[in-house]
Amino acid sequence: MPRAALAGQSATDAGQNAEAPRLSRAGARFAATGANIGTSEVRPFLPNAPAYDKFPFGLWQTCANRQARHSFRAGMGYADPAGYAPLRRAIAEYLAMHRGDRCDPEQIVITPGGHTAFMIATLLLTDPGDGVLFEDPGPLIARKLFESLDRRIVSVPVDADGMDFEHVLQAVPPPRLVFAMPSRHHPLGRTLSLARRLRLMDWAQANAAWIIEDDYDSEFRYTGRPLPSMRSIDAPGRVLYVGTFSKALFPALRVGYFVLPPALVQVFRNAMALMFRSVPLETQMVLADFIAEGHFATHLRRMRDLYTQRRHDFIETAAEVSDGRFQIDSPDSGMNVITWLPEGVGERRIHAKAQTMGVHCYPLSDYCLQPYPRSALILGFTCVQPHLLRPGLQTLAQVIATEQRQV
Ligand SMILES: Cc1ncc(COP(=O)(O)O)c(C=O)c1O
């Protein structure tokens, strides 16, 4: 029996009391990150959370039962590390139809989610100390991942045309990797202009750098046609497209994928084989069926309609209850809104108070390396059930009003 259990302590208690273990440099960085481990508790206005209650559980279960009865028995050994071939074909068809991107299924490598893909790309394409071009503000977990892996963040601001990188392109040595969100930057929601996309790809080609295109929530666009991905115009072959099913379906699924330049496919397959062997085959089989039978496309259509309605209701209700205390940037895509706060009101205090009153949000400063000129909160609207919308926004307005009186 472990000594901790004998002493009536949990293993975690015992670990906290013990001397700090000797860790690698990366280990020490991971230990210090304090990364938000995630939550399955859905409260308004948890950012980036799909409408879990609208997931077609019955259809998913039907696909799962069928796979368990038939194909799964034939697939109990080690699977293809690049991913189940029918799933890769289904993803290639989906991308051609919805993202204007024709790729060969052989260029697709299935990963356990988007963040694992970012990690693999970092390990295979950069060395510790190498620069990663990254937006400020930019996604917190991805930044912590690069920092923990001992990569140097080369931060660039974001303006109306997306990441504003021109001034760092002459840096010596040049960044080896760019982390970009061309279709919808998180958290500001900007789109990278065509001129900048082309400039970035030319620069990457000239400097032997690579670009990760994180396209995690591009399925949800509420005005106009879907924007083509950056990879779809990547003539030089410098873009690694990363997709995920975390938002279109649900994060616990842990399925994401690369679309890789052909020259990188073999090394990424090898890395998947050594690090993960493969993503669980049964999950891939169920997902492949779910897509092939049209359930994925139907679910996406339904969620797009639902989120269009929820976005509309959010904006209308916020305008009614805010009494001018906060302003919403109405997003044309994605799952979140930026809520700008009145001058002088501290977003961290509002965030902390709102949390205690059951309102979930993230302060913009969590995403920032340099102080941002305005205070804001990031609020998710996609997971909010209609009866919780108005009370949630009223609570937020009340917290801001109280804070304003104290300024
Ligand atoms: C910026 C960003 N990229 C990608 C993802 C998807 O990550 P994963 O596929 O690992 O769940 C998320 C999840 O919220 C995200 O915020």
Dihedral sign, CA of 29, 31, 32, 37? positive
Q: Which residues make Cβ contacts (< 8 Å) with residue 176, sequence separation at least 6?
A: 125, 126, 127, 130, 131, 132, 208, 209, 210
239-268, pLDDT tens digit by residue? 999 999 999 999 999 999 999 999 999 999
User: For residue 214, how far is its CA from the centre of ligand 1 (angstroms)?
Assistant: 8
Which amino acid appears at position 365 of this protein?
S
Q: State the alpha helices, DSSP H only, in 34-163.
A: 57-69, 71-74, 85-98, 114-125, 140-148
Question: In ligand 1, which atom is closest to the CA atom of 244?
Answer: 9
CA-nearest of 32, 37, 272, 214 to 141 is: 37
Distance of CA 38 from the midpoint of ligand 1 (Å): 11
Give the pLDDT confidence score for residue 2 in this predicted structure.
Answer: 43
Rounded CA-CA distance 407/32 in Å is 33
Could you tell me if 331 and 337 are in contact, meaning their C-beta atoms sit under 8 angstroms apart?
A: yes
Rounded to an integer, the average pLDDT of 261-288 is 97
Look over the chain and give the mean of its residue pLDDT values, rounded to a whole number. Answer: 92
User: CB atoms < 10 A from the CB of 277, how many?
Assistant: 12
pTM exceeds 0.85 for this model = yes
Calculate how far, in angstroms, residue 144's C-alpha sits from the geometric centre of ligand 1.
13
Beta bridge partners of 213: 180, 241
Q: How far apart are CA 110 and CA 84, in angstroms?
A: 8
Compute the distance from residue 90 Cα to the ligand 1 centre, in Å: 21
Residue 34 has pLDDT above 80, yes or no: no
Quote the pLDDT of residue 232. 95
Q: Which domains does the chain have, with CATH numbers?
A: 57-296 (3.40.640.10), 298-406 (3.90.1150.10)
**What would the mean pLDDT of 351-358 be, rounded to a whole number?**
94
Q: What does the pLDDT average to over 191-212?
A: 97
Q: Which residues line ligand 1 (CB under 6 A)?
A: 48, 113-115, 139, 142, 186, 214, 216, 244, 246, 251, 256
- CA of 87 from ligand 1 middle (Å) equals 20
Tens digit of pLDDT for each residue in 47-105?
A: 999 999 999 999 999 999 999 888 878 888 999 999 999 999 999 999 998 888 999 99
CA of 348 to the centre of ligand 1 (A): 23
The residue whose C-alpha atom lies closest to atom 4 belonging to ligand 1 is 216
Of 141, 362, 367, 382, which is best to mutate to test ligand 1, by the most ligand atoms within 8 angstroms of its C-beta? 141
Supply the pLDDT for residue 15.
56
Assess contact for 37 and 352: CB atoms under 8 A.
no
* CA-114 nearest atom, ligand 1: 9
Task: Choose one of 144, 216, 362 to mutate for the ligand 1 pocket test, by most ligand atoms within 8 angstroms of C-beta.
Answer: 216
Chain segment 311-321, per-residue pLDDT in tens: 999 999 999 99
Residue having the nearest C-alpha atom to atom 5 of ligand 1: 216
Tell how far the Cα of 116 is from the centroid of ligand 1, in angstroms: 10
Residue having the nearest C-alpha atom to atom 6 of ligand 1: 114
Q: Which atom of ligand 1 is nearest to the CA of 256?
A: 9
Gap from CA of 397 to ligand 1 centroid (Å): 29
Distance CA 199, CA 172 (A): 18
d(CA 384, CA 46): 8
Predicted local distance difference test score (pLDDT) of residue 363: 96
Strand partners, 132: 153, 177
What pLDDT does 177 receive? 98
Residue 135 or residue 33, greater confidence: 135
Q: How is 299-319 classified by DSSP, letter by letter?
A: HHHHHHHHHHHHHHHHHHHHH
Q: Residue 249 is encoded by which pair of tokens?
A: 């379906």
Among protein residues, the one with the nearest Cα to ligand 1's atom 12 is 216
pLDDT value of residue 35: 62
- The residue among 31, 56, 48, 29 whose CA lies nearest residue 148 is 29
- The Cα–Cα gap between 229 and 218 comes to 9
DSSP label at 226? P
Long-range contacts of 323-327 (CB under 8 A, 24+ apart): 323/397, 323/401, 325/397, 325/400, 325/401, 325/404, 326/377, 326/396, 326/397, 326/400
**Do 229 and 182 contact (CB within 8 A), yes or no?**
yes
The residue whose CB lies within 8 Å of the most ligand 1 atoms, and thus the one to mutate among 188, 244, 255, 276, is: 244
Give distance in angstroms: CA of 234 to centre of ligand 1. 23
- Average pLDDT, stretch 224-243? 93
pLDDT category of residue 304 using cuts at 50, 70 and 90: very high
Of the candidates 160, 130, 57, 121, the one whose C-alpha atom is nearest the C-alpha of residue 268 is 121
Q: What CA–CA distance (Å, rounded) separates 37 from 181?
A: 22
| Tokens 């949990």 belong to residue | 10
Tell me what pLDDT residue 20 has: 86
Q: Which two tokens stand for residue 116?
A: 């694992």
